[in-house]
């Protein structure tokens, strides 16, 4: 782990010009999320990341907010083919057709899950027993890319017709929304924030 310009050890976001990445690491990564719109945002962004770096996706986050109605799942579910096709010309997002159309498809499934469980948050946190799992890794390479929990959640989301929700994507999502806390033991965020 490299020491950043501000003297803090971080799991990632330490290189010059990565202030936005450091802020994401410090303020969001592994912080428990219980807001359905934020859940939807992270599902869309993690799906967009498939085959790319998370840094690339974070740089386009504002573009995604604009393109997908601030990640309002009801508005995204109602997007027309014409709107989605227009997004394929938008350089502010990743212009992969399958990923763009996945946002609408997943929004429809997301809304069904909300109806069934009362909230997406209630549904998703069941996969970790309602409590964030804190790990104790000392080396980033030791962090798994999938777990039995991500396998189970991925399988269930696929059964509910979501796409771009393979177990690796879902484990990254679980890290992003704090279902799993994988801050390294020498990271300044490892200890619970006061």
C-alpha pair distances (Å), 173 with each of 7, 16, 88, 145? 28, 26, 24, 11
**Does residue 41 carry a catalytic annotation?**
no
CA 78 to chain centre: 22
CA distance 189 to 169: 23
**Does residue 21 carry a catalytic annotation?**
no
Convert 102-136 to b/e letters by CB count within 10 Å (16 or more is b): bbbbbbbbbbebbeeeeebbebbbebbeeebeebe
Backbone φ and ψ of 177, nearest 5°: -100, 10
**Does residue 112 carry a catalytic annotation?**
no
Of these residues, 54, 64, 123, 173, which one is catalytic?
Answer: 54
CA 60 to chain centre: 13
CA distance 148 to 124: 14
Structure-token pair, residue 161: 């017709």
Of these residues, 21, 29, 41, 46, which one is catalytic?
Answer: 46
Please identify every residue annotated as catalytic: 24, 46, 54
């Amino acid at each position: 782990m490299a020491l950043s310009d501000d003297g803090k050890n971080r799991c990632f976001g330490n290189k010059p010009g990565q202030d936005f990445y450091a802020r994401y690491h410090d303020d969001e990564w592994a912080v428990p999320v219980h807001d359905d719109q934020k859940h939807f945002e992270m599902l869309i962004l993690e799906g967009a990341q498939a085959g790319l770096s998370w840094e690339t996706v974070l740089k386009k986050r504002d573009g995604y907010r604009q393109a997908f109605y601030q990640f309002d799942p009801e508005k995204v579910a109602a997007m027309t083919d014409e709107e989605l096709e227009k997004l394929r010309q938008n350089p502010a997002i990743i212009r992969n057709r399958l990923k763009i159309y996945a946002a609408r498809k997943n929004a429809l499934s997301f809304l069904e899950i909300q109806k069934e469980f009362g909230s997406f948050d209630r549904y998703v946190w069941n996969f970790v027993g309602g409590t964030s799992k804190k790990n104790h890794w000392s080396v980033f390479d030791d962090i798994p890319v999938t777990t039995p929990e991500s396998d189970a959640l991925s399988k269930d989301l696929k059964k509910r017709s979501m796409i771009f929700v393979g177990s690796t994507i879902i484990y990254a999502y679980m890290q992003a929304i704090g279902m799993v806390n994988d801050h390294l033991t020498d990271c300044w965020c490892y200890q619970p924030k006061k």
